[in-house]
Structure 1
Amino acid sequence: MTYTFITLAFVGLILFYWLYVLVSNCFRTHFSLFNAQKNGLVPVMQATILSTKTLKPGKHPWLEIQIVLENFVGHTIHRTIRFRDNQPQLERFVPDKVIHVGLDLTKRPHDPVLPMYIKQPTSMVFVLFCSLLTIGYIAGCYFLVGEALSRIYLLPKTYERVFATSAVWQLGLAFVVVSIVLRWLLTRMGLFVKESTKLQNWDLFYKGLGTTAIVKEYRDTGILINENPKVEFLYTFMDYSGQIVKGKDQKVVEKLKTAKLSMMSDKEIMYLPDDPSISRMLENLGDHGTQKTIGFLYEIRSICLFGNCCVLFLYGYIPKMIGSHMSSLYPFFSTL
């Protein structure tokens, strides 16, 4: 029963993983702001609007505003937020106006900035939809897995032979290996950000202090992204206590600007007051559209992996189910 166990274990892990993703996105993410406000975990701060842009006009337009505010330790940061304005006639979001924003700690490592003028009600329709979706997913998994297990229980040797000769577990393991290698390559190239890196960047941006670092050395990492080299910068800076700290960070530099690297003497960086050895260049802490796109494509790949594994898993008993009915269908097809 070795091949049967490997196949069932692999499919079971995938089903549990996507159940976790479903519950996490439907319930935890949606109720995080509600729980944070209830427990007083959303500190309110003042922010000044630098610019306003209407992304989608209408009765309730979608706005994009650039604001400047202080993070949790009092350092000035810039942020861009997008939201729907439910009362555009009040003209609350115009340049140079001061607004109140909340910093939701439960959003870490995502953007925690939220205008306090925008209500975030808990939608009962959304809760009902998520509940029905979760129940439907569990019921579907229960039906498919139960049907498969009942058939395997009746003919264990037959299904062991079917799984041994099929490509279910081999392709499943191949998908896992390819996914790990692809993730490693994208991470090394800087096109995919690990969760631990996202958490660290969030802490640096919202809990860190900023200063100007002196670039001591730079070197080519040998990695090219769109024919632009990825360069590693070695720098030193003075922390809030007056100590000189060394740091390093990497950045993709345009090919035409590599000749000007020798004239680059300083960089704006941010570091953690509790651990100044953790620092990054400020330009690496912002939102990067390419990384978000790669992450989205990687999730699409995961969905395709999930679908392929389910199809391959069904392949193990569909032939038997079809074969059990072929004898009764043969007279019908012979008359055609």
Structure 2
Amino acid sequence: MKLMIIFWGIFLFFFCVPFPIFIYMMSEELATEPRNSLAVSYGYLGFSLLIWGYVIIFFINKLFITTFKEKNTIKSILRNGIPREAKIIDYKLLKYIAKKNMNLIQVTLSFPNLSNTVIEHKTMFHDSKPYEKRFDAGNKVKVLLNPQASKEPYFILSDQKVGFNTSGMILRIVFLVLLIAYVIGLYSYFYWRESFDFGWRFLTFMHPIIFSGVMTIMYVLVFQLIFGRLLKNTKEERILFSGRNAEANIISVSETGLLVNNQPQIMFQVSFKDFRGTEHIAVYKKIVSFLKLSSIPKQGTIEIMYDEDDPKKIMIPRGV
């Protein structure tokens, strides 16, 4: 997954930065007369400034503001988090980092959530003291739940350290500086090359100053809408960490016709009673491997979890 994201990141970056400039330089002849009226050219200029302003603010927010907010959230959980004892059900070593004598591990934890419903959750983190073997299967660790169920992270280890990765922050600063330098250079170069004392009247929609910004916004949307959904399902995680469990009666199970990575999406329609005794009918869609299709229950009962504030929102935590 990481290599795929890097590949598509580089691929899309090519179409955002050098590609629009290359196409423009190869296809457009250098105009020595104004292409637009003064009003239209300033409209294009304002539009381009809005685009690049949004792009720069987006990356400042994602690379810095969000990081500082997450750090403050973790500090808040360390102060006010709800303690739980978690049992380690499964342990997997993903990578040994020799330089730091550190393991990248994946563990499956079992512990009561905010509603005291016992859940299972897989998580990855760095074990800085692998020689202590604290995370072997069968051991227990202390975790702290985030009392604000709508915010991530939903839980942390009770002894988790809070800090910034220095090299990572330097790379983020370098990226932002290069982005701003690219934008300034884009405006400066083409104004010097094409203005001919007519100001910004050389601008058109397909000009690299504008089109490069439009492509960059498309780049941002691709990563937000596609890769963001592939990497995590926030709604389901929120239900997992704050929802209640119930035994639901299966009304119907059917395929939706949608395939994701050549795997079918299955729709469950179930009925259940919440902890107040009120009956609900809800629908849940899940991507299932072809190998598991035969084992999916078509009738009877199934364990679900539901959102206490909106019982129509459910998930099937395990067994499918």
- Report the TM-score when normalising by structure 2: 0.67
The worse-fitting range, judged by mean Cα deviation, of 199-208 and 256-265 is 256-265
Please list, as runs of the form range in 1=range in 2, the aligned pairs for 1:170-249 lying within 5 A after superposition: 173=214, 193=229, 198-249=233-284
1:140 positional shift:
3.5
Counterpart code for 2:287: V
User: Which residue, 80, 103, 110 being the options, matches 2:122?
Assistant: 80
Please list, as runs of the form range in 1=range in 2, the aligned pairs for 1:116-155 lying within 5 A after superposition: 116-118=158-160, 120-123=161-164, 125=166, 129=170, 133=174, 136=177, 140=181, 143-144=184-185, 147=188
Describe the SS at the equivalent of 2:198: helix
- The answer on 1:161 being equivalent to 2:202 is yes
Instruction: Mark the CA change 1:156 to 1:107 in structure 2 (over 3 Å): closer, same or farther.
Output: farther
RMSD over aligned CA atoms reads 4.2
1:149 positional shift:
10
User: Which residue, 41, 44, 48 being the options, matches 2:80?
Assistant: 41
Residues 280-326 of structure 1 show CA distances to partners (whole Å, capped at 9, x for unaligned) of 22249x9xxxxxxxxxxxxxxxxxxxxxxxxxxxxxxxxxxxxxxxx
Instruction: Mark the CA change 1:137 to 1:76 in structure 2 (over 3 Å): closer, same or farther.
Output: same
- The structure carrying a bigger helix percent of its residues is 1
1:215 positional shift:
1.2
1:71 positional shift:
0.3
Describe the SS at the equivalent of 2:201: helix
Partners in 2 of 1:168 and 1:138 — Cα distance? 13
Instruction: Mark the CA change 1:90 to 1:198 in structure 2 (over 3 Å): closer, same or farther.
Output: closer
1:179 positional shift:
7.7
1:200 positional shift:
2.8
Partners in 1 of 2:218 and 2:205 — Cα distance? 20
- The answer on 1:95 being equivalent to 2:137 is yes
Q: What residue in structure 2 maps to residue 55 of structure 1? A: 94
Q: What residue in structure 2 maps to residue 324 of structure 1? A: none
User: Does the CA-based 8 Å contact 1:48-1:68 persist in structure 2?
Assistant: yes
Partners in 1 of 2:265 and 2:165 — Cα distance? 48
Instruction: Mark the CA change 1:4 to 1:222 in structure 2 (over 3 Å): closer, same or farther.
Output: same
User: Does the CA-based 8 Å contact 1:234-1:246 persist in structure 2?
Assistant: yes
Q: What residue in structure 2 maps to residue 24 of structure 1? A: 65
Instruction: Mark the CA change 1:18 to 1:122 in structure 2 (over 3 Å): closer, same or farther.
Output: closer
Instruction: Mark the CA change 1:34 to 1:127 in structure 2 (over 3 Å): closer, same or farther.
Output: farther
User: Does the CA-based 8 Å contact 1:4-1:159 persist in structure 2?
Assistant: yes
Partners in 2 of 1:123 and 1:180 — Cα distance? 27
Counterpart code for 1:84: H
Instruction: Mark the CA change 1:210 to 1:96 in structure 2 (over 3 Å): closer, same or farther.
Output: same
List gaps (5 residues or longer) in structure 1.
Answer: 287-336
List gaps (5 residues or longer) in structure 2.
Answer: 1-40
Q: Identity over the aligned pairs, expressed in percent?
A: 16
Partners in 1 of 2:295 and 2:134 — Cα distance? 43
Q: What residue in structure 2 maps to residue 281 of structure 1? A: 316
Higher relative contact order (Cα pairs below 8 Å, separated by 6+ residues): 2
Partners in 2 of 1:237 and 1:111 — Cα distance? 29
1:249 positional shift:
1.0
Partners in 2 of 1:174 and 1:121 — Cα distance? 36
Counterpart code for 1:77: I
Partners in 1 of 2:263 and 2:146 — Cα distance? 36
User: Does the CA-based 8 Å contact 2:149-2:241 persist in structure 1?
Assistant: no
Instruction: Mark the CA change 1:208 to 1:142 in structure 2 (over 3 Å): closer, same or farther.
Output: same
Residues 69-124 of structure 1 show CA distances to partners (whole Å, capped at 9, x for unaligned) of 00011000012233333333433333322221122457955453322234x14359
Q: How many residues align?
A: 276
Instruction: Mark the CA change 1:170 to 1:156 in structure 2 (over 3 Å): closer, same or farther.
Output: farther
Residues 36-64 of structure 1 show CA distances to partners (whole Å, capped at 9, x for unaligned) of 43xx2322211112232333345333333
Please list, as runs of the form range in 1=range in 2, the aligned pairs for 1:307-326 lying within 5 A after superposition: none
Partners in 2 of 1:235 and 1:192 — Cα distance? 28
Partners in 1 of 2:133 and 2:49 — Cα distance? 58
> Which runs of structure 1 show a deviation greater than 6 angstroms over 4 or more consecutive aligned residues?
177-184
Instruction: Mark the CA change 1:201 to 1:210 in structure 2 (over 3 Å): closer, same or farther.
Output: same
